Chain A
Amino acid sequence: MKAYIQGAGCISPQETAAGGPFLESVKSYEGNRLAVADPDYKQWIDIKMIRRMSRVIKMGVGASQLSLQDAGITMPDAIITGTAYGCLADTSVFLNKMVTQQEEMLTPTAFIQSTHNTVAGQIALMLGCHAYNNTFVHRAFSFENALLDSMMILQEGNAKHILTGGLDEITDHSHTILSRFGLFRNSISNSADLLQTPGEGTINGEGSAFFVLSSEKGNAVTEMQTPATLYKPSGAVETAVFIKEYLGDVMPDVVISGRSGNADEDMVMGALERKLFPGKAIAGFKHLSGEYPTASAFATWLGHNIIRTQQVPEAVLLSGTAPSAIKNVLIINQYQGTHYSLLLLKAC
């Protein structure tokens, strides 16, 4: 199966929502937690609606609007999101009050907005879109499953444009708890150097990227192949076979690697890159987005823009050089060494 990217929108710790030159300059952060660079959400959302919205809802609505604008459409034929954590802030607010107020005098707003399909539902409500609406919440496969569902629906032939996105937010509680699991470095002086200095743990990230996918080429420059996922591989050999089988005869010009700055994970990724793609341009992205389960949506936005602009920004290139004509971009994402996913993007 395949789909064409008709539009893309991304809200991330970088200035991706501003529409300037493609990652010409990047923002670097201190510490171990990146926060999205918020655009002015009021450009898309009515003030009466925005008052109830948590950050992840605003990020989702914002990026979806950017992608619809980019595609030049107002009404998709399906809305599908992937989010591992869902609406964490609202969940946290309700849970917190429930515990501290001992189940008394609770208000409904946070509970209503805590459901994982809130973002997809809000987008439908704002657009008045009665079409298919689904939300995948499967850890680091959430966005990949949303893409796969989108492609299968396009294949069925009734839908022409599908709005598909991946998003997650950080909250103070989630950051504290994930830190206690030892996922993050204690602190890092410059997040832009994350992948040059592998160590114990990565840095926490968040963001939202949406795409308008279509079965028709139209003005699209990027064609997306069916994503593939590999759950808990037995070792690097299984992962290498998985990648080779996925690619078949295709040799990518650029590989976007899911290195996280965590030395153990990056050792595995580095070995795979050297073995399967010697001399090819290898790009990283988690120093820009931070690590989170749906970071592959940011990588997809990056890959699409590499094809669109035919250049690999200096800020993402880790090694090798890209040819002057970039045809195939392969995203190899990994999350904590247990969840691998592949997505091939082609110039068209």
Chain B
Amino acid sequence: MEKLMADLKAQIIEQLNLQEVKPEDIGDDQPLFKDGLGLDSIDALELIVLMQQHYNIRMANPDDGPKIFQSIRTMAEFITANQKA
């Protein structure tokens, strides 16, 4: 889980071009959207593709985004629960 969360932070920074943000700046339970890291609905769509690219998880419904993408931890938990062997 720790490694997965570290990977996710690096992947998110790269995919979303978060300049001047370092992996250690993102807390495991920090909200990713709005007042937390400040991501928005366009980023949510980017994250859906990230899930598919890196973890082979297809999210068909964008409305699932807000729940899964709450924090690095919720993303990691979702990946662990859904990743195919």
Contacts and interface: CB of A to CB of B under 8 A. Distances in A.
A–B touch (CB < 8 A): the answer is yes
Given A105-B49, A105-B53, A109-B46, A52 B19 contact: no
Contacts of A105: 49, 52-53
Interface of B: 15-20, 38, 42, 45-46, 49, 52-53
Interface of A: 47-48, 50-52, 105-109, 112
A109 B20 contact: no
B46 A47 contact: no
A105 B49 CA distance: 6
Nearest to B50: A107
Contact of A108 (B17, B18, B46): B46
B76 to A, nearest CB: 21
Contacts of B52: 105
A112 B15 CA distance: 16
A51 B19 contact: yes
A259 B74 CA distance: 61
19 contacts: A47-B19, A47-B20, A50-B19, A51-B17, A51-B19, A52-B17, A52-B42, A105-B49, A105-B53, A107-B15, A107-B45, A107-B46, A107-B49, A108-B42, A108-B45, A108-B46, A109-B42, A109-B46, A112-B42
A50 B16 CA distance: 11
A50 B17 CA distance: 10
Most chain B CB atoms below 10 A, which of A52, A107, A109? A107
B49 A106 contact: yes
Contacts of B38: 48
